[in-house]
Amino acid sequence: MKPDSQLPIGVFDSGIGGLTVVRELHRVLPNEDIIYLGDTARVPYGTKSPDTVTRFACEDAQFLIQQKVKALVVACNTASAWALPALQQRFSLPIFGVILPGARVALEKTRNRRIGVIGTASTVRSKAYTNAIRTRDEGAKVFSEACPLLVPLVEEGLLDHAATRIILEEYLRPLLRKQIDTLILGCTHYPLLKKAIGKITKRNVALVDSAECCAASVAESLAQFKLLTPQNTRKGTLRPYVTDDTERFEAMAERFLGFPTEQTWKVELPALKE
């Protein structure tokens, strides 16, 4: 049965980083209602095993589907890397991840076919970006760097701090030595560091924002599926749910979104139905 175009879009992440995807979705699809789930009780996913990430992602998806959404956006690079096939097999509605859109845009932007990827240890270990890029261009060279310290720096609001610049230089130096001309920001926290990263990479390196690419891809696909909310409706709302600590989520949400959310609700996710 085809979903109703008036239903909201469901978005989930391990914590708050996926709000950068929500921000971009809100920008390109301002009439769409969005339900967001941040699994803050089990964050981060980037240090978990593939099996655990897949189970958590399926439980997140199950919760959002129970809220009656028309599509699911996996706004987490780690969950997109490990869990997307299982999600698409288990659930019948349109499901979108952040990896493939970012890989496509990187291939459009690169001139020398030398592409860098920064992300969590789990995303880098999955080789998801490498595989997505090499499947489309066997001659492309992909160089990846795990950046475990960046997420806590972003969540502490240290976006333009001297310590952040030093750590970014440490992480980016090996990639710049490889003469990359394109860099995928392979974690949904990283768009908040785009300015700081740009100061190090200069104009020689095109930055690919995985949140921006994902939102553009979702908009295009929903239009093809005829699932967009009619344009003459009111402005879309954002209803956030978290699995722990609503106060911390609300304190950081406005920094990630640039606008306030509705009241945040705390929920417990039921075990996955077999």
Q: Which candidate in 58, 147, 187, 214 is catalytic?
A: 187
Report the amino acid identity of residue 264: T
Catalytic residue list contains 187: yes
Buried b (16+ CB within 10 A) or exposed e, 195-210: ebbeeebeeebbbbbb
Q: Where are the beta strands (DSSP E) in the chain?
A: 9-13, 34-38, 71-74, 95-96, 114-119, 141-146, 182-186, 206-209, 238-242, 265-266
Q: Where are the beta strands (DSSP E) in 75-169?
A: 95-96, 114-119, 141-146
How far is the C-alpha of 131 from the C-alpha of 111, rounded, in Å?
Answer: 19
Asked if residue 253 lies in contact with residue 264, where contact means CB atoms within 8 angstroms, the answer is: yes
Tokens of 265: 């609700």
Please choose, from the candidates 203, 191, 115, the residue with its C-alpha nearest in 3D space to the C-alpha of residue 150. Answer: 191
Q: Which candidate in 76, 147, 213, 214 is catalytic?
A: 76
Catalytic residue list contains 147: no
Locus of tokens 């809220």: 67
Q: Cis peptide before 44, with omega less than 30 degrees from 0?
A: yes
Q: Which residues form the catalytic set?
A: 76, 187
